[in-house]
């Protein structure tokens, strides 16, 4: 098991009611690693990378960031992105997406809906440096 796998497994056990953790590379559109407590079809993992890339770099998000850069007088080719964390609440789950410091990777944490959102966010943020260091 790779160090990234180990760190994602640690995240699953340390984040409240976490059922899955994954790490997506936005530049390649690939899931670098994923750990779950249940088995899921391969198609779900493939769609995770595409959906995460759309969330953080889709055309509308890119347009918003371009407007922010222009309004702030920043160069358009700046590597910094404004969208750093995204939370999605579905019927039964909380999905937390956190962009890494390198800006091209995103960690995805999926927790049961009954989890305390504040604790999920706090614990998710706490594991990010370890996950990023695993690369």
Report the CATH number that the domain containing residue 115 is assigned in CATH.
3.30.450.30
- What is the Cα–Cα distance from 44 to 74, expressed in whole angstroms? 37
Kindly state the tokens that stand for 95: 């999905």
Per-residue pLDDT of 64-95, as tens digits, reads 988 988 888 888 777 778 889 999 999 999 99
pLDDT, tens only, 10-23: 999 999 999 999 99
pLDDT number for residue 39:
76
How do residues 14-55 score in pLDDT, each as one tens digit? 999 999 999 999 999 899 999 998 877 677 777 889 999 999
Please tell me the distance from the alpha carbon of residue 10 to that of residue 12, in angstroms, as a whole number: 5
Q: Of 59, 1, 53, 55, whose CA–CA distance to 25 is shortest?
A: 53
pTM for this structure?
A: 0.91
**Domain total in the chain:** 1
Domain that includes residue 126, residue range? 3-133
Separation in Å, CA 22 to CA 7, 11, 31, 34, 93:
10, 10, 7, 4, 15
- Mean pLDDT of the region 86-114: 95
């Amino acid at each position: 098991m790779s160090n990234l796998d180990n760190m994602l497994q640690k995240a699953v056990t340390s984040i409240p009611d976490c059922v899955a953790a994954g790490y997506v590379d936005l530049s390649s559109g690939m899931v670098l690693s994923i750990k779950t407590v249940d088995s899921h079809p391969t198609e779900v993992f493939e769609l995770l990378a595409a959906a995460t890339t759309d969330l953080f770099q889709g055309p509308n998000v890119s347009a918003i960031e371009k407007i922010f850069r222009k309004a702030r007088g920043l160069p358009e080719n700046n590597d910094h992105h404004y969208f750093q964390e995204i939370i999605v609440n579905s019927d039964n789950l909380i999905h937390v997406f956190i962009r890494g410091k390198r800006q091209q990777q995103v960690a995805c944490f999926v927790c049961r809906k009954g989890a305390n959102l504040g604790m999920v966010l706090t614990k998710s943020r706490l594991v990010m440096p370890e996950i990023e260091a695993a690369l």
